Structure 1
Amino acid sequence: MTEMLEPNRDDASGPAIEKTQINTTVSPQSDGASESTENLQPPPLSWKLGAIVLVTAIGFGSQWSSGITSAMKTTIKKEMKVNNKQFALLEASEDFMVTVLMLFSGFITDKIGGASAILYGNILYSVGSILVAGAAQTRSYRFMIGGRVIRALGDIATQVAQYKVFSSWFAPGNGFASTLGFELGIGKIGAFAGKSSANIIAKRTGDFAWVFWVAVFMNLFTNVMTVVFYWFTKIANKRFHGTADPATGERLVEKSKKLELRKVLELPWGFWAVMAFSMFQTSTSIVFLQNATELAEQRFKTSSIVAAWYTSTAQYAGFFFVPLLGVFLDLFGQRISSMVVCGTLIFTSMLLVCFANTPKGTAASFGIFAFANCFGPTTIIDSIRTSMFDPSVFGTAYALKITMNNAVNIIVRVITGVIQDQSDNKYDRVTIVYVALAGASVAVSFLLAFGCWIFIDLRQLQWSRKLRIARRDILVPRKEAFNKASGATKKISIGCFGALLILTCGSWCAYFWGVATGNN
Structure 2
Amino acid sequence: MIFYSTSDKNAERPTSGQKNAFAVTTAKESGSASSVGQGHPKQVPVPLTWKLASILLVSAIGFGSQWSSGITGAMKSTLKKELKINNTQFALIEASEDFMVTLLMLISGIVTDRIGGAGAILYGNAIYSVGSIMVAAAAQIRSYKFFVSGRVILALGDIATQVAQYKIFSSWFPPNNGFASTLGLELGIGKIGAFVGKSSANIIAKNTGNFAWVFWVAVFMNIFTNIMTGIFYWFTRVANRKFCSIDDPATGEKLAEKNKKFELRKVLELPWVFWCIQAFSLLETSTAIVFLQNATELAEQRFGTDSVTAGWYSATLQYAGFFIVPCLGVFIDVFGNRISLLTFCGVGVFISMCLVNWARTTSGTAAAFGIYAFAYSFGPTTIIDSIRTSMWHSSVFGSAYALKITMNNAMNIIVRVITGVIQDRDNDSYDNVTIVYMVLAAGSVLVSMMLVMLSWKSVDLGNLQWTRKKRIARGEFINERKRAFYEENGARNKLISMACFASLAALVLGSWVAYFWGVATGNND
Shared topology, TM-score over 0.5?
yes
2:11 maps to 1:18: yes
1:228 to 213, 217, 231: 231
Name the % identity: 67
Describe the shift of the 1:34–1:191 C-alpha distance in structure 2 as closer, same or farther (beyond 3 A).
closer
2:145 maps to 1:142: yes
2:521 to 497, 517, 520: 517
Report if the CA contact (8 A) 2:13-2:472 is conserved. no
Which range is displaced more, 49-58 or 472-481? 472-481
- The CA distance in 2 between the partners of 1:223 and 1:450, in whole Å, is 46
Partner of 1:112: 115
Q: How does 1:414-453 map to 2 (within 5 A)?
A: 414-453=417-456
- The CA distance in 2 between the partners of 1:35 and 1:358, in whole Å, is 61
2:280 maps to 1:283: no
- The CA distance in 2 between the partners of 1:350 and 1:293, in whole Å, is 15
User: For residue 35 of structure 2, what is the amino acid of its counterpart?
Assistant: A
Partner of 2:396: 393
Q: How does 1:354-393 map to 2 (within 5 A)?
A: 354-393=357-396
Gaps of 5+ in 2: 1-8, 22-30
Q: Deviations over 1:371-417 (max 9, x none)?
A: 01101100000000000010000000000000000000000000000
Partner of 2:260: 257
Q: CA RMSD in A?
A: 1.8
2:495 maps to 1:495: no
Describe the shift of the 1:501–1:37 C-alpha distance in structure 2 as closer, same or farther (beyond 3 A).
farther
2:338 maps to 1:345: no
- The CA distance in 2 between the partners of 1:244 and 1:42, in whole Å, is 12
**CA shift at 1:44, angstroms?**
2.9
1:33 to 12, 35, 46: 35
Report if the CA contact (8 A) 1:407-1:504 is conserved. yes
Partner of 1:3: none
TM-score by length of 2: 0.93
Aligned residues: 504
Partner of 2:321: 318
User: For residue 507 of structure 1, what is the amino acid of its counterpart?
Assistant: S
TM-score by length of 1: 0.94
Report if the CA contact (8 A) 1:109-1:117 is conserved. yes
Describe the shift of the 1:505–1:25 C-alpha distance in structure 2 as closer, same or farther (beyond 3 A).
farther
Describe the shift of the 1:156–1:436 C-alpha distance in structure 2 as closer, same or farther (beyond 3 A).
same
**CA shift at 1:210, angstroms?**
0.0
**CA shift at 1:32, angstroms?**
2.8
2:248 maps to 1:245: yes
2:308 maps to 1:305: yes
Describe the shift of the 1:126–1:89 C-alpha distance in structure 2 as closer, same or farther (beyond 3 A).
same
Partner of 1:13: none
Report if the CA contact (8 A) 2:32-2:260 is conserved. no
**CA shift at 1:472, angstroms?**
1.1
**CA shift at 1:316, angstroms?**
0.3
Partner of 1:92: 95
**CA shift at 1:34, angstroms?**
7.5
**CA shift at 1:471, angstroms?**
0.7
- The CA distance in 2 between the partners of 1:41 and 1:64, in whole Å, is 37
Q: How does 1:30-109 map to 2 (within 5 A)?
A: 31-33=33-35, 41-109=44-112
- The CA distance in 1 between the partners of 2:150 and 2:275, in whole Å, is 33
- The CA distance in 1 between the partners of 2:398 and 2:94, in whole Å, is 24
For the residue of structure 2 that corresponds to 1:251, the secondary structure is coil
Q: Deviations over 1:114-135 (max 9, x none)?
A: 0000000000000000000000
Describe the shift of the 1:37–1:233 C-alpha distance in structure 2 as closer, same or farther (beyond 3 A).
same
Partner of 1:7: none
Report if the CA contact (8 A) 1:178-1:326 is conserved. yes
**CA shift at 1:221, angstroms?**
0.2
Q: Deviations over 1:454-495 (max 9, x none)?
A: 011110100000000011121011122223342222211110
- The CA distance in 2 between the partners of 1:200 and 1:122, in whole Å, is 26
Partner of 1:4: none
